[in-house]
């Protein structure tokens, strides 16, 4: 396949993934981990997915200074000029906005497409198709999102509600206007969404022209836009550290959803194209378990020591990640994760509560374990 | 306290304890393990309990040749003359009968008291009192058992049904005749037993004069009695190995319950004295968990690395044995046992099914793990 000539990918690599404790830690966040045991980390998988669309020179990764070295090591294809290290977390608008502003200064107005570093997309071909479609709508001036076709009434994801089809554009499918973005619903609301048929999961994937994106930002968040442009102007100069150190801490902390997607959608400026591919944000162990194919005996496992037996007695749906033999007896949808310094035992229904383990360890002054 | 002058203790140390996998293994059976993390193995705990009654010279331990070295190492107080190694397992009647026959040859008719090597008796004083009472009835000619006062309608133990009080004997309480021994009942039957008030748990504790015990055996199992006497006659001579190798494999495999306790009870020759002390056969992890006091947060733990935190979120009744931090989330009465080469995850309600793990590992040709 051929790359999309005017497309640059932005990969904000942040977030701790505390619900994947004990595998994920503050020092080894989710995106740096090979959570599926495929031999590639989530970050590397993200790059693998993007390279056919952009080539190696058009992917920019934004991460915290604490993880910059690890990111560089995991992504030798990405040049140092395309690794943007944030001095401190200022949320996704600052991260994506800075990358967009740097790219615009370097290349003029281009298309930027932003994808989280810690999601899983098994259907790479479907993903590529959706990005190509999104690029068409983005070139036409829309902030364009990819709405994942829901396969279940999930309460773990936000939703995108779409409205009327937009004017057909050459080479693209009929994109639709986004009516609204809605937060994670309760189960009943989610079931209603699914029945209505005009909703999609919000995977946080945005494609836009830099002039469109930064134009919206200038209008909606003027101080943030000005700060980002000031840093971007200094980025490829000797002034970078000075300006970054002075301006970055002053930037507004806001997510791109709240800064741009929601207000721009309200005035008809956001389009959505269908993403008919399998996708997951690997939000917890239950989510991860669904991405792993079961063995012949129904056990789902991720393990470096794959030869170790897992014996499940009266224990359907067990998920096991461990470096030694494991027996699960009498538990349904058990989740067992053993690391060299900790062990988690839970079940799929309680996977979201793993965050409370991290909170409790911090309360016990055991930050060494989180 | 003063020892009981004419009492010799016999400790048959056998059985695998497969329900305590992965801690117990064929090479490290339950009696050799410090399952409670007290610093003493169950075998050592058994000896500790018996020494005040007998002194170190009057305890005989009978075990398989495979475990003889480990037993000797764990019990330096027990002289080599009092370690009886069986060439192969021939069940409890042969083990106890051989020890009794050896003791009778050495010392004439004495009292022998038999106690399993892998039980737990937290209330040592109550145990001593019961043995003293049993010794009185045994001297009077009864095969005497100690019936544990039940604290719950357990289906995990056999029961002893008692009848009329026997003639009071000097220094002893009123012992009762045993009407019958009954196998592990179902829950309804167990509840009925408890309500009737004339039952006790059968802990397999027997006290008898050697002439009484071996006399019953001669009458009820003549070939077995003859074989044991032949081996005992050769035991402290140069002929031991020759006679043992020739005769032992021919001995009838039978439990002392079936060989003596049940038939002798039927003719009024068995007495029971009350054992009003806490006792457990540590039959599975659920049983073991009840013997461990919970932490402040309700977690019961056994661990060499006792300083490792255990975080229980929405997980009442968790039992944990592990050398590293463990989090249990959303499971009730969870049982988590981590050893250097295996991990078990189950709950108290399924603890009996752990035996199936061992069976499955053997079926998968992984005898190295059992």
- Write out pLDDT tens, residues B216-225: 999 999 999 9
pLDDT tops 60 at residue B157: yes
pLDDT tops 70 at residue A172: no
> Which range of residues forms the domain containing residue B353?
291-369
| Alpha-carbon span A34 to B94, nearest angstrom | 58
Tell whether A280 is covered by a domain: no
B327–chain A Cβ distance below 8 A for any pair = yes
Considering the domain architecture, whether residues A311 and A185 belong to the same structural domain is answered as no
Q: Considering chain B, what percentage of its residues have pLDDT values greater than 90? A: 84
Query: Does the beta-carbon distance from A345 to B328 stay under 8 Å?
Result: yes
Domain boundary among B240, B275, B310: B275
Considering the domain architecture, whether residues B297 and B231 belong to the same structural domain is answered as no
| Alpha-carbon span B326 to B368, nearest angstrom | 26
The residues pairing with B59 across neighbouring beta strands, listed in sequence order, are B9
Structure tokens given for B292: 């461990």
- pLDDT at site A173: 63
Burial class of residue A30 in the structure, from the number of CB atoms within 10 Å of its CB (0-12 exposed, 13-18 middle, 19+ buried): buried
The CATH number covering residue A252 comes to 3.90.550.10
Considering the domain architecture, whether residues A271 and A292 belong to the same structural domain is answered as no
Domain boundary among B275, B306, B327: B275
- pLDDT at site B194: 86
Q: CA dihedral defined by B59, B62, B65, B67, rounded to 10 degrees?
A: -70
Query: Does the beta-carbon distance from A328 to B345 stay under 8 Å?
Result: yes
| Alpha-carbon span B95 to B207, nearest angstrom | 15
Considering the domain architecture, whether residues B259 and B297 belong to the same structural domain is answered as no
The minimum CA-CA distance between A312 and chain B, rounded to whole Å, is 8
The residues pairing with B120 across neighbouring beta strands, listed in sequence order, are B280
Domain boundary among B223, B245, B275: B275
Instruction: Tell me the Ramachandran region of residue B236: left when phi exceeds 0, alpha when psi lies from -120 to 50, beta otherwise.
Output: alpha
End-to-end CA separation in angstroms for chain B: 42
pLDDT tops 70 at residue B304: no
Burial class of residue B59 in the structure, from the number of CB atoms within 10 Å of its CB (0-12 exposed, 13-18 middle, 19+ buried): buried
pLDDT tops 70 at residue B203: yes
Q: What is the mean pLDDT of residues B248-269?
A: 95
Considering the domain architecture, whether residues B219 and B364 belong to the same structural domain is answered as no
What confidence tier does A37 reach under pLDDT thresholds 50, 70, 90?
confident
C-alpha B299, offset from chain centre: 27
Tell whether A1 is covered by a domain: no
pLDDT tops 90 at residue A216: yes
CA-derived radius of gyration, chain B: 21
Considering the domain architecture, whether residues A66 and A209 belong to the same structural domain is answered as yes
Structure tokens given for A194: 């699914």
Tell whether B1 is covered by a domain: no
pLDDT tops 70 at residue B171: no
**pLDDT digit string (tens) for A348-369?**
999 999 999 999 999 999 999 9
Structure tokens given for B368: 């190295």
Considering the domain architecture, whether residues B192 and B101 belong to the same structural domain is answered as yes
Residue bearing the bigger pLDDT, A115 or A306: A115
Q: Which residues of A touch B331 (CB under 8 A)?
A: 331, 345-347, 350
Considering the domain architecture, whether residues B207 and B307 belong to the same structural domain is answered as no
Burial class of residue B291 in the structure, from the number of CB atoms within 10 Å of its CB (0-12 exposed, 13-18 middle, 19+ buried): middle
Q: How far is CA A66 from CA A82, A84, A243, in A?
A: 17, 12, 19
Q: Which residues of B touch A342 (CB under 8 A)?
A: 324-327
Tell whether B286 is covered by a domain: no
Considering the domain architecture, whether residues B237 and B326 belong to the same structural domain is answered as no
Q: Point out the least confidently predicted range of A306-310, B66-70, B130-134.
A: A306-310
Helix, strand, or coil (residue A137): helix
Q: Point out the least confidently predicted range of A229-233, B240-244, B295-299, B327-331.
A: B295-299
Q: Which residues of B touch A313 (CB under 8 A)?
A: 350, 353, 356-357, 360
| Alpha-carbon span B8 to B115, nearest angstrom | 11
Q: How many domains, in total, are found in chain A?
A: 2
- pLDDT at site B298: 87
Q: What is the mean pLDDT of residues B31-57?
A: 94
A329–chain B Cβ distance below 8 A for any pair = yes
A368–chain B Cβ distance below 8 A for any pair = no
Q: Which residues of B touch A301 (CB under 8 A)?
A: none
Cβ pair A90, A251 in contact under 8 A:
yes
Q: Which of A106, A4, A21, A15 is nearest to A321 (CA)?
A: A21
Cβ pair B351, B20 in contact under 8 A:
no
ipTM for the predicted complex: 0.86
Q: Which of A117, A91, A99, A366 is nearest to A256 (CA)?
A: A91
Cβ pair B112, B210 in contact under 8 A:
yes
Considering the domain architecture, whether residues B304 and B263 belong to the same structural domain is answered as no
- pLDDT at site A62: 98
Considering the domain architecture, whether residues B254 and B297 belong to the same structural domain is answered as no
Show which of residues 338-367 on chain B sit within 8 Å of chain A, judged by CB atoms. Answer: 338, 340-347, 349-351, 353-354, 356-357, 360-361, 364, 366
| Alpha-carbon span A188 to A198, nearest angstrom | 16
Considering the domain architecture, whether residues A214 and A328 belong to the same structural domain is answered as no
pLDDT tops 80 at residue A82: yes
**pLDDT digit string (tens) for B312-336?**
999 999 999 998 999 999 999 999 9
Q: Which of A242, A212, A219 is nearest to A230 (CA)?
A: A242
Q: Point out the least confidently predicted range of A130-139, B169-178, B229-238.
A: B169-178
Q: What are the φ and ψ backbone dihedral angles of A128, each rounded to 5 degrees?
A: -60, -40
Tell whether A114 is covered by a domain: yes
Q: How far is CA B150 from CA A244, B156, B199, B203, B284, in A?
A: 75, 12, 8, 11, 18
Q: How far is CA A153 from CA A127, A262, B200, in A?
A: 21, 22, 56
**pLDDT digit string (tens) for A104-132?**
999 999 999 999 999 999 999 999 999 99
In sequence order, the 6+-apart residues with CB closer than 8 A to the CB of B56 are B77, B78, B79
Q: Considering chain A, what percentage of its residues have pLDDT values greater than 90? A: 85
Q: Which residues of A touch B313 (CB under 8 A)?
A: 350, 353, 356-357, 360
């Amino acid at each position: 396949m051929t790359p999309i000539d005017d497309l640059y990918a932005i990969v904000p690599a942040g977030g701790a993934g505390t619900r994947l404790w004990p595998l994920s830690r503050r020092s080894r966040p989710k995106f740096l981990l090979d959570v599926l045991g495929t031999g590639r980390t989530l970050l590397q998988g993200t790059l693998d997915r993007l390279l056919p669309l952009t080539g190696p020179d058009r992917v920019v990764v934004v991460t915290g200074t604490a993880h910059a070295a690890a990111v560089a090591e995991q992504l030798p294809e990405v040049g140092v000029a395309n690794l943007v290290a944030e001095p401190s977390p200022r949320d996704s608008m600052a991260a994506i906005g800075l990358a967009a502003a740097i790219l615009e200064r370097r290349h003029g107005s281009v298309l930027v497409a932003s994808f989280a570093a810690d999601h899983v997309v098994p259907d790479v071909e479907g993903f590529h198709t959706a990005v190509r479609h999104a690029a068409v709508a983005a070139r036409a001036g829309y902030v364009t999102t990819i709405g994942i076709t829901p396969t279940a009434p999930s309460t773990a994801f936000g939703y995108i509600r779409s409205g009327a089809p937009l004017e057909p554009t050459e080479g693209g499918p009929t994109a639709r206007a986004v009516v609204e973005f809605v937060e994670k619903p309760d189960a009943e609301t989610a079931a209603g969404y699914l029945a209505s048929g005009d909703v999609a999961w919000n995977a946080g994937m945005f494609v836009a022209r830099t002039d469109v994106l930064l134009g919206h930002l200038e209008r909606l968040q003027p101080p943030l836009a000005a700060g980002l442009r000031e840093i971007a102007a200094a980025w490829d100069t000797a002034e970078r550290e000075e300006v970054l150190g002075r301006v970055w801490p002053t930037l507004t902390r806001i997510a791109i959803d709240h800064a741009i997607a929601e207000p721009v959608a309200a005035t008809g400026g956001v389009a959505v194209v269908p993403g008919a591919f399998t996708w997951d944000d690997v939000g917890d162990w239950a989510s991860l378990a669904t991405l792993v194919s079961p063995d012949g005996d129904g056990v789902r496992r991720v393990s470096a020591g794959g030869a170790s037996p897992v014996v499940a007695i009266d224990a359907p749906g067990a998920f096991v990640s461990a470096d030694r033999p494991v027996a699960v007896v009498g538990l349904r949808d058990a989740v067992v994760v053993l690391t060299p310094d900790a062990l988690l035992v839970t079940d799929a229904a309680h996977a979201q509560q793993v965050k409370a383990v991290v909170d409790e360890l911090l309360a016990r002054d055991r930050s060494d374990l989180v």
